[in-house]
Amino acid sequence: TYGFELTVTDNQGLAGKDSVLVTLNNIVPTNWPPQVSPLCNKPYKIVVVGSSTAYGTGASPIDSSWVKKFTTYVQIQNPLVSVVNIATLSLTSYDVSPTGTPVPSPYLIDTARNITKALSLNPDAIILSLPSNDVARGIPAADIHTNFNLIVAAATARQIPVWVTTTQARNTLSAAERVLQMELRDWIINTYGNKAVDFWSTISNADGTINEFYSAGDGVHLNNYGHHVLFTRMVAEKIWDSLCARTNQAPIANAGRDTSVSPNTGLVLSATGSSDPDGDVITYNWRVVNSSNATITSANTASPVFTATAAGLFRVELKVSDTYGKAAYDTVAIQVSPVNVPPVAYAGIDQLVVKDDVDHLAFE
């Protein structure tokens, strides 16, 4: 830190003085991280669930926020990648809990911003970033732990991985609350392991306040330098490689139950019982296996129409494919039988006979 004094003297010999302190910080690099090649070119979607820092507060312009920079980075890697940010101001872990979770007043689950909404967007990965509002609002640590686990469990049930950022320093907390912030930071790291992202070190002082050089000036949020640190931490996670390394499971094909139909009568088949364990989009292809006397209309849909021109037992194969080339098969048997026409009964013409003269009564 350097002090400078300014003396101003007028032509009458009167002088005024003022001083200023200039503190020099080490230059913080804001270089763009190297663009690394992912393990695969799989297109993927990441949804960000969080509060004001994830929304971009503190960065100026907002394009300097960590989510905006992260989005740019991954889209340079792969233009087919998308990052959907549903974070907004002031949210807590109560607010983004799964829809239907009981929460205490005055909290209300934000169904446009919570984990249930995030999962409805069919993501391949989720980033959960709730850096300080829970402790600032006085939510008990046990409740915070429960809420975080519920949020992550909802995604895990859908086989969607979640990266959880740690807490961040905050000047507006009391000394005791800053200790709680550090305890929550450690709990996140211990609970979520390699899916925990360090949003604490470098930008925080030892007492849990924000390092002045990274502060946006409001005691809560980070400036462009701070957002850049968070951005580089997310890049270092290489989420894209984790998604590439995940084993892609084959879809499940279900062609429906065996059935019967008459010749020249359309039969609607159904593959709606088919699914994909990874949640991938699936496509359908139907074909008649054992005969040329049948056709399938709209064979690349889930509900095509089967029509046979002759009687017989037909086998129809369903192929279900996911977007990464894995396929599954199922077969449905269709018995095509002619319409059963009832026999014609003819008892002959009416006759007149003499009572007890049965010898002359005849039927045809």
- Residue ranges and CATH numbers for the domains of the chain are 30-245 (3.40.50.1110), 259-336 (2.60.40.10)
Instruction: Walk across the sheet containing 82-85 and list its strands.
Output: 82-85, 45-50, 125-129, 162-165, 196-197
Q: Would strands 312-322 and 305-308 be described as parallel, antiparallel, or unpaired?
A: unpaired
The Cα–Cα gap between 67 and 362 comes to 99
pLDDT 10s digits, 324-340: 778 999 999 999 998 77
Percentage of the chain beyond pLDDT 70 is 94
**What pLDDT score was predicted for residue 36?**
87
- CA triple 288-291-292, angle to 5 deg: 95
In Å, how far are 180, 204, 242 from 129, measured between CA atoms?
A: 17, 17, 19
- 301 confidence band (pLDDT: 50, 70, 90): very high
Residue 360 has pLDDT above 60, yes or no: no
Residue 274 has pLDDT above 90, yes or no: yes
Residue 34 has pLDDT above 80, yes or no: yes
Q: What is the DSSP letter of 312?
A: E
Higher pLDDT, 20 or 245: 20
Residue 302 has pLDDT above 90, yes or no: yes
Element (H, E) at 203: none
How many residues are given for the chain?
364
User: Do residues 233 and 129 lie in contact, with contact meaning Cβ atoms separated by under 8 Å?
Assistant: no
- 187 confidence band (pLDDT: 50, 70, 90): very high
Could you tell me what percentage of the chain is helix, strand and coil, using 3-state DSSP and rounding each to the nearest 5?
Answer: 25, 25, 50
**What pLDDT score was predicted for residue 357?**
57
Mean pLDDT, all residues of the chain: 92
**And the tokens for 245?**
């390394």
Q: Kindly give, in sequence order, each residue whose CB lies less than 8 Å from that of residue 280, ignoring residues fewer than 6 positions away.
A: 248, 251, 322, 323, 324
**What pLDDT score was predicted for residue 356?**
65
- 216 confidence band (pLDDT: 50, 70, 90): very high
pLDDT 10s digits, 125-172: 999 999 999 999 999 999 999 999 999 999 999 889 999 999 999 999
Q: Would strands 15-22 and 327-336 be described as parallel, antiparallel, or unpaired?
A: unpaired
**And the tokens for 216?**
């946006």
Cβ-based neighbour number of residue 136 at 10 Å: 18
How far is the first Cα of the chain from the last one, in angstroms, to the nearest whole number?
126
- Among the residue ranges 46-60, 175-189, 303-317, 324-338, the one predicted with the least confidence is 324-338
Identity of residue 211 = N
The Cα–Cα gap between 152 and 127 comes to 10
Residue 12 has pLDDT above 60, yes or no: yes
| 336: nearest Cα among 224, 259, 279 | 259
